[in-house]
């Protein structure tokens, strides 16, 4: 597989932040009278713009949330990141093994992306190759963020590979005309959904360099990759 750029999502792909973010959301939703299981809370926020899931909470409640709900959510999540955030397993080694340029394109604000990459020691690897939906004005599943990153780095869309863990991220990559690999460890339970949306799914970041080099049709990594 000959590609010129790998575009990584950040949350849940590079940094293991989504469970921590969903914990903060679950606690705040409970304070408002909405009870969610940890799995439901994680699915509720994965890959989504904060304003979107906040609006859905307000619909369930039938009223507006306090003006400081989002800032307080971000504060609580950041506090959890400071004490518990780690890279997604095998990500540092995987990045060391890549032979093509890479960047990150996330629906999160830039300050959050930089904060989480910094806490996990990954920030120097990305330098000025960080793209935020808040700066582009396009949130997944809109393909605009991925297309902007590709244009900025001078790479045609069909020469890009996107690595995502969310349905909206896979949809955005497909709409951008990019190959998309869906990170779907067994505990996420997302392989079928991501595969049906057009991703080649894989279970471990350790498998990604080989997948990028050979492509799933030529030599899948045993037990780690599922082409759909």
Beta bridge partner(s), residue 104: 8, 130
- Long-range contacts, 206-214 (Cβ 8 Å, 24+): 206/90, 206/93, 206/94, 208/94, 208/163, 208/181, 209/94, 209/97, 209/98, 209/99, 211/1, 211/181, 212/1, 212/3, 212/6, 212/98, 212/100, 212/161, 212/181, 213/1, 213/99, 214/1
50: pLDDT strictly greater than 60: yes
Go through the domains of the chain in sequence order and give each one's CATH number.
Answer: 5-16+86-226 (3.40.50.1000), 18-84 (1.10.150.240)
Range 127-140 average pLDDT = 96
**9, 11, 16, 165: the active-site residue:** 9
9: annotated active-site residue: yes
The tens digit of pLDDT for each residue in 198-226 reads: 999 999 999 999 999 887 643 333 333 33
List the one residue out of 90, 82, 73, 117 whose CA is nearest residue 203: 90
Residue 1's pLDDT band (boundaries 50, 70, 90)?
Answer: low
Encoded tokens for 56: 């859905």
Whole-prediction pTM value? Answer: 0.88
The average pLDDT across 72-97 equals 97
| Residue burial 142-177, b: 16+ Cβ < 10 Å; e: rest | bbbbbbbbbeebebebeebbbbbbbbbbbbbbbbbe
pLDDT band at 127 (very low <50, low <70, confident <90, very high): confident
Helix, coil or strand: residue 192 = helix
Q: Could you tell me how far CA 5 lies from the centroid of its own chain?
A: 17
Residue 56: which pLDDT band, with cuts at 50, 70 and 90? very high
Tokens of 34: 């909405």
User: Please, what is the average pLDDT of the chain?
Assistant: 92
Neighbours of 79 (CB within 10 A): 12
pLDDT digits (tens, 9 = 90+) for 143-166: 999 999 999 999 999 999 999 999
Among 75, 15, 32, 30, which residue's Cα sits nearest to residue 50?
75
- What are φ and ψ of residue 107, in 5° steps? -75, -5
Q: How many whole angstroms from its chain centre is CA 137?
A: 17
């Amino acid at each position: 597989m000959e590609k010129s750029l790998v575009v990584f999502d950040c949350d849940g792909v590079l940094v293991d932040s989504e469970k921590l973010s969903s914990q903060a959301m679950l606690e705040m939703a409970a304070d408002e009278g909405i009870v969610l299981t940890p799995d439901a809370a994680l699915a509720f926020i994965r890959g989504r713009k904060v304003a979107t899931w906040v609006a859905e909470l307000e619909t369930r409640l039938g009223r507006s949330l306090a003006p400081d709900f989002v800032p307080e959510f971000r504060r609580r999540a950041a506090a959890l990141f400071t004490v518990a955030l780690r890279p997604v397993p095998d990500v540092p080694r995987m990045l060391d093994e890549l032979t093509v340029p890479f960047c990150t394109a996330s629906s999160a604000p830039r300050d959050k992306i930089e904060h989480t990459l910094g806490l996990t020691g990954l920030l120097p690897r990305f330098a000025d190759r960080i793209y935020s939906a808040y700066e582009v004005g396009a949130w997944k599943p809109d393909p605009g963020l991925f297309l902007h990153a590709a244009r900025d780095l001078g790479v045609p869309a069909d020469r890009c590979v996107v690595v995502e863990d969310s349905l909206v991220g896979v949809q955005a990559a497909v709409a951008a005309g990019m190959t998309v690999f869906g990170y779907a460890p067994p505990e996420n339970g997302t392989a079928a959904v991501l595969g049906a949306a057009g991703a080649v799914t894989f279970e471990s970041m350790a498998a990604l360099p080989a997948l990028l080099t050979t492509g799933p049709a030529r030599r899948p990594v045993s037990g780690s990759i599922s082409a759909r």
